[in-house]
Structure 1
Amino acid sequence: LVTVPSPKEASSARPALQRKSTQYYTIIDGTRYDRSLIEEAQEYAKGGAITLDGVTSLWANAHDGRGVTDTERRTLLHVLQEYRLDADAEQFLRRVLKLGPRPGDGPAAITAPEA
């Protein structure tokens, strides 16, 4: 005779597993983002500020097709705005997203050479 636990008993007896969602997008505050990029950024952020290695990996993974989609770009902008990045990582992400320097990071425009 074999005793089989009920589904409720079985689920309470085993440790909770973190399952990755199979959905491609995640919605944050009503805006659609690339779920895999958000999850990857969360993993990198666990160690503190996201490093240059972390954002270069995010950038490479955003190029998983013919280029960076609007949703992938929006996701990388979200990472830039909402996560702590070290200085090199922030500079890289701003450059590849063509955002220019942050205000206060130096001259905003190139001046003409003196004659």
Structure 2
Amino acid sequence: MAYVNIDGQKYEKELLDLAKEHTTGKGEGKLSKDEVVDLFTSAKDGTGVTDTEKATLVYIRANFEFTNAAAKDFDEAFDAL
């Protein structure tokens, strides 16, 4: 598992890379409902969602743009963790 430090906080590189991949290139630059599913699938790849993965999801929510529907789905999925 690779990590990235941003302002002294450790985040999961795989989740950050996935969010960046989904918001660059073609498209509107916002995370969609399907892409939110991808993020949470990646976060749940082990026996559970780690504190680092949760912190990374919080970082993604605060620093990436979402469609309105995707933001709602993200918030609901995060609250269910």
Give, as a single letter, the amino acid of the residue that structure 1 aligns with 2:42.
N
In structure 2, the gaps of 5 or more residues are: none
Larger Rg: 1
Runs (4+) of structure 1 exceeding 4 A deviation are none
Tell me the distance in 2 between the aligned counterparts of 1:97 and 1:50. Answer: 15
Q: Distance in 2 between matches of 1:69 and 1:93?
A: 17
Matched, 1:92 2:73: yes
| Residue 12 of structure 2 corresponds to residue 31 of structure 1 | no
**Matched-pair identity in %:** 32
Q: Which has the higher contact order (CA 8 A, sep 6+)?
A: 2
Q: Which residue of 2 aligns with 1:49?
A: 30
- Which runs of 5 or more structure 1 residues have no equivalent in the other structure? 1-22, 100-115
Q: Could you tell me how far 1:44 is from its partner in structure 2? A: 0.6
The 2-side partners of 1:29 and 1:87 are apart by: 28
**Alignment: residue pair count:** 77
Out of 52, 56, 68, which is 1:75 matched to? Answer: 56
TM-score where L is the length of structure 1: 0.63
TM-score (norm 2): 0.88
Which of the pair is proportionally richer in helix?
2
- Compute the displacement of 1:62 (Å): 0.4
